[in-house]
Structure 1
Amino acid sequence: MHTVENVEQRVIGVISDLTEDWDVELEGGIGPQTTMIGDIGFASIDFIQLVVAIEGAYKTKLGFQDLLMKNGAYVEDLSVAQIAEFVAGRLNGSLPVAAPAPVAANTAVVATRLTSIPESERVTPEKLAKFRASIATRKLRDDGTPKNPPALFVLSPPRSGSTLLRVILAGSSKLFAPPELHLLPYNTMGERLKALSGEHTEHLLDGTVRALMQLHGWEPEAARAFVSKCEADDMSTKAFYNLLQQPLKGEKLLVDKTPSYVIDVDILKRIEQDFDRPLYIHLTRHPLGMIRSYEESKLQRLMPMVQEASFGSRELAELTWLTAQQNTVAAGQHVPADRWLQIQYEDIVCNPSASIEKICSFAGIPYEDAMINPYQEMDQRMTDGVDNASKMSGDLKFHLHNAINPDAAVRWKQFYSEDILGAQTREVAASLGY
C-alpha cells in the first residue's frame, strides 16, 4: 500500500531534482499545496518530464492523461497534493484508468468553440508564399556512392500521430524503428551537428545515438563517441544511414519517421536518390486535429528548417500542415503506387488492428499482436531517450497516455469549426479524404 504522504515526499523529491537549477524561491520549500504553474512556473514540457520521472521512479505506466485533462482541455494548474493523490490511487488500484469520454457529434455543445476568425488571421495564398519563403533552403547533393538498401519512411507534419505510429511499428520483429533521425536534410554529419546544436534543437541529435545503442547494445557514452567521430570525419549522412542498416542484415527494415522532412520537397526527393526502392507511409491527420494538438502542446517548437516568421501559433500550424501535405502529395506523384501507402491517423486510433494489418501487408511483413500494444516492451520500442525518456526525440506527450485512445481522432471538434480554415487547406484536406 502506497500512502499519499509517502508518495507526496517522492513527488517533492522528483520536482526538486527537476528544478534544481531553476531560479525558484519558495518560502518553506516545496510542500503539498505548492502549485506547478503558479508557484514553480511549469510549462508543458516540464509536466511531461515530471510524468516520465515519476513513472520511472515507480517503474510503471500510470496514465497521467486522466489527471492533466478535464472535459477535453488541459487543467490550468495542479498542486503537489493533487499529483500525489492521483499517483497513490493508481498505484493502489483505487483509481482505475477512466474510459475515454465520447465526443459528441454535435460540437455546438462547447460554448468556447471557435467558429469564425478575422480575415486577417485566415491562411491565404499570400501567407503560404511568405511561409514557404521562410523555409531555409538546402543544397542537397548526391555523393555518388551506390544506393542504400530499402527503408521505410513515415511522412507527416508534426502533431499528426507519427510518434504513436513509430512506436507501434517498433513492436514488429521485422522493423527497426528508432526515434527521429534527422538525417535527410543534411549532406554530412558535421553539417547536421552544426544545424542542430542550438538550445532548442540539440535533443534532435539523440535519435541516432539511441538507434546505435539499440543496434549494438552500447551504453550512451559509447554511442555518443561513435556519432562524434562520424561528425568529426564529416561522414555523409547517406553513409551513416548505411551504418544503421548494416547490422540489420536485410532481416529488418529501417524505419525513419522525422516530421521535418516534409517541410521541403527537395528533402523528400532525396529519398529516391539515396535508397533502393524505398517504401513510404503518408500519414495524414485532419488539419484541425493537428492544429489543436499543436496549440495545446504550447511547446512552440519550430522545425529546424523554418526561420523565424511573424505568424500566430494557429496560423503557423495550419501553414505547416498545408505545406507538408502539398509537398508530400507532389513527391508521391513520382513514386510507384506499390511503394506508397496513405493512411489516416484517425483510422489508426479508432481501428488499430485493421490499420496495422494494412501497413504490414504493404511492407510485406507479418502482422504481430504486440504491435497494437505500444505501451508494452518500452525498451524495444526506444521510448526512453538516451539519458532519460524526457529527452526522447519525438512527441513527448506519448508518455502521458497508457493506451491508444480513439477520442483523439475527433476531440478537436469540441474547439474548432472547419470554417476557420483557409480555402487551400480545405481543398487539400478534402483531397485526402477529410
Structure 2
Amino acid sequence: MMHTVESVEPKIIEIVEELTEDWDIDLDGGVGSATTMIGDIGFASIDFIQLVVAIEGAYKQKLGFQDLLMQNGAYVDDLSVRQIATFVAGRLNGAAPAPAPAAAPVKAAAPATVVTSVPDSERVTPEKLARFRASIARRTLSGDNKPKNPPALFVLSPPRSGSTLLRVILAGSSKLFGPPELHLLPYATMGDRLKALSGEHTGHLLDGTVRALMQLHGWEAEQARAFVSRCEQENMSTKAFYRLLQEPLKGEKLLVDKTPSYVIDVDILKRIEVDFENSLFIHLLRHPCGMIRSYEESKLQRLMPMVQESSFGARELAELTWLTAQLNTLEFAKQVPKERWLTLRYEDIVCSPETSIRQICDFAKIPYEDAMINPYEEMDQRMTDGVDNASKMSGDLKFHLHNAINPEAAVRWKQFYTDGILGAQTLEIARSLGY
C-alpha cells in the first residue's frame, strides 16, 4: 500500500491536536498543513519526541526521525505539519527522502561554533561542587534486619550517559529482566516514593514499577497501577517491593535496575549492599562533555527529583552532576569485590556493540544472544512503550528517535565543546577514567 502525503497529513494533524489539546493555543482555523511546531504551537524538544513516539505508535513502525529532526549535529529550527507528513509518507513507502519545502521551510542549523573555554564565573570549582552537594535532598536509609533480597544487576551512571540504550540492550537477554527506571532505592517506603515523585515534572517516574508488573504478570495498566497503589497505601518498604519484582523471576532471570538518580547520593548506593545479596554493578561511563551536551539539549534539570532548586546554569549543573556521580560511584566501588564490578564506556557500546555486549555477558555469566545487539526490535518485550504510551517511558525518550545503534553519538559533542570547558577536578577524574 502506497502512502501519500495527503493521506498521512490528517493523521499527523490528529496526533498534534491530541498532544496539544490542553494547551492554550490561538490558531485561526486550527492546525493545518502550514502550521509550524515551534513558531505556531510552541513545541519544545520533549514535545517533538512525544510527537515522534505517537506517530510511530500509530503506524507501528520505526521511521528514523533523527534524519528529519537533526541537521549538522543540532536540531532544526522548526518543522511544519506538511514537512512531517512528507517525511512520514516517504519512510512508510520505504524511502529516505529529505523533507519537502513547505510554506514555512525548515531553516537548517548552522554548524556550531566549538566552545573551547568558559569564563571563570561559569567554571566548576570545588566551592561550587560543595554547594551542589549540599543542595541534594538527603535520605535517611537504614537496614530492616530482614533477610537480604536475591542479587540484582545495577547500572550506575549519571543521566545522559547512555543508560537507556544499555538497559534496552540488556532487556534483549532471556536471562535478564530490564524494566524502565524503577526509582526505588532512594526511598524507605512506597509511600515515601509516591510523595517525593508526584510532582508535575516527575510523576512519570512512578511508572517504571507499573510497567515492570505489567510485563511480569501480563496485567493491564489499570491492574498494575492498582497493585502499586495498594503497596503505597500500606507503606510497604521498597526492599519488600523489590522482592515482589524478583519472586516471579524464580532465580531464572536477574533483575536489572538502571535509575540514574541513584548515583547522586553515595548513601543510596551503599544501601544496595545492605539490602541485596552479592549484586552485580555496571559502572557506565561517558565523556563528561558528551554528557553535558546531551543534558543541555534535554533540559533535564527540571526532571531531577533529588536536586533542589539551584542558581547553576544548565552546563554547570550537568558537569556538577557528572562529577558528583563519579566521585560517589568510585567511593562505593571500594566496598564491592572486583568480580562483581564492570566498568563500561558508552563510547565503546555504540562503536563496538557486540564486543561490549559479550563483555557484559561474560561478566554476568549469561550467554550472549543475538537479540541483544538489536535494541530496536521486539520493543514491547523490552518495555520501551511506557504504561499508557511510549512518550511517558521512564528513561531517555530520545531513544525513540533512532532505529539502530549510532556510533556517531560517541563524538557528536566535539562539534560543540572541547574539554577546555571543564573544571580542573572534572578533568582530573575524566582522565583517571581513561578519557
| Alignment TM-score > 0.5, same fold | yes
Q: Post-superposition shift, 1:110?
A: 5.5
Give me the whole-angstrom Cα distance separating, in 1, the residues matched to 2:188 and 2:58. 41
**How do 1:91-110 and structure 2 match up within 5 A?**
91-95=92-96
Q: Post-superposition shift, 1:296?
A: 1.4
Give me the whole-angstrom Cα distance separating, in 1, the residues matched to 2:168 and 2:93. 28
Aligned length, in residue pairs:
424
Fraction of identical pairs, as percent? 80
Q: Post-superposition shift, 1:300?
A: 3.3
Give me the whole-angstrom Cα distance separating, in 2, the residues matched to 1:322 and 1:152. 23
Runs of 4+ displaced beyond 2 Å: 298-302
**Is the 2:202–2:303 Cα contact (8 Å) retained in structure 1?**
no
**Is the 2:49–2:400 Cα contact (8 Å) retained in structure 1?**
yes
**Is the 2:201–2:303 Cα contact (8 Å) retained in structure 1?**
no
Give me the whole-angstrom Cα distance separating, in 2, the residues matched to 1:28 and 1:111. 37
Q: Secondary structure at the match of 1:300?
A: helix
Q: Secondary structure at the match of 2:301?
A: coil
Give me the whole-angstrom Cα distance separating, in 2, the residues matched to 1:157 and 1:96. 36
Instruction: Name the residue aligned to 2:381.
Output: 380
Give me the whole-angstrom Cα distance separating, in 2, the residues matched to 1:243 and 1:296. 37
User: For structure 2, which runs of at least 5 residues remain unmatched after alignment?
Assistant: 99-109
**Is the 1:166–1:177 Cα contact (8 Å) retained in structure 2?**
yes
**How do 1:334-345 and structure 2 match up within 5 A?**
334-345=335-346
Give me the whole-angstrom Cα distance separating, in 1, the residues matched to 2:137 and 2:112. 40
Instruction: Name the residue aligned to 2:390.
Output: 389
What is the CA deviation profile of residues 57-76 of structure 1, one whole-angstrom value per residue up to 9, with x for unaligned ones? 11100010000000111111
Instruction: Name the residue aligned to 1:152.
Output: 153
Give me the whole-angstrom Cα distance separating, in 2, the residues matched to 1:96 and 1:140. 54
Q: Post-superposition shift, 1:5?
A: 0.9
Give me the whole-angstrom Cα distance separating, in 2, the residues matched to 1:143 and 1:297. 38
Instruction: Name the residue aligned to 1:46.
Output: 47
Instruction: Name the residue aligned to 2:405.
Output: 404
Q: Post-superposition shift, 1:93?
A: 1.5
The one-letter amino acid paired with 2:233 is: A
The one-letter amino acid paired with 1:37 is: I
**How do 1:115-130 and structure 2 match up within 5 A?**
115-130=116-131
Q: Secondary structure at the match of 1:243?
A: helix
**Is the 1:110–1:415 Cα contact (8 Å) retained in structure 2?**
no
What is the CA deviation profile of residues 9-28 of structure 1, one whole-angstrom value per residue up to 9, with x for unaligned ones? 11001101111111111112
**How do 1:305-384 and structure 2 match up within 5 A?**
305-384=306-385
What is the CA deviation profile of residues 265-300 of structure 1, one whole-angstrom value per residue up to 9, with x for unaligned ones? 000000000000000000000000000101112343
Instruction: Name the residue aligned to 1:83.
Output: 84
Q: Post-superposition shift, 1:111?
A: 5.7
**Is the 2:72–2:111 Cα contact (8 Å) retained in structure 1?**
no
Q: Secondary structure at the match of 1:158?
A: coil
**Is the 1:116–1:420 Cα contact (8 Å) retained in structure 2?**
yes
Give me the whole-angstrom Cα distance separating, in 2, the residues matched to 1:348 and 1:82. 33
Q: CA RMSD in A?
A: 1.3
Instruction: Name the residue aligned to 1:186.
Output: 187
**Is the 1:45–1:299 Cα contact (8 Å) retained in structure 2?**
no
The one-letter amino acid paired with 2:421 is: I
Q: Post-superposition shift, 1:94?
A: 2.4
Q: Post-superposition shift, 1:194?
A: 0.6
Q: Secondary structure at the match of 1:164?
A: helix
Give me the whole-angstrom Cα distance separating, in 2, the residues matched to 1:52 and 1:305. 27
User: For structure 1, which runs of at least 5 residues remain unmatched after alignment?
Assistant: 98-108
Q: Secondary structure at the match of 2:357?
A: helix
Give me the whole-angstrom Cα distance separating, in 1, the residues matched to 2:132 and 2:373. 37
Q: Secondary structure at the match of 1:178?
A: coil
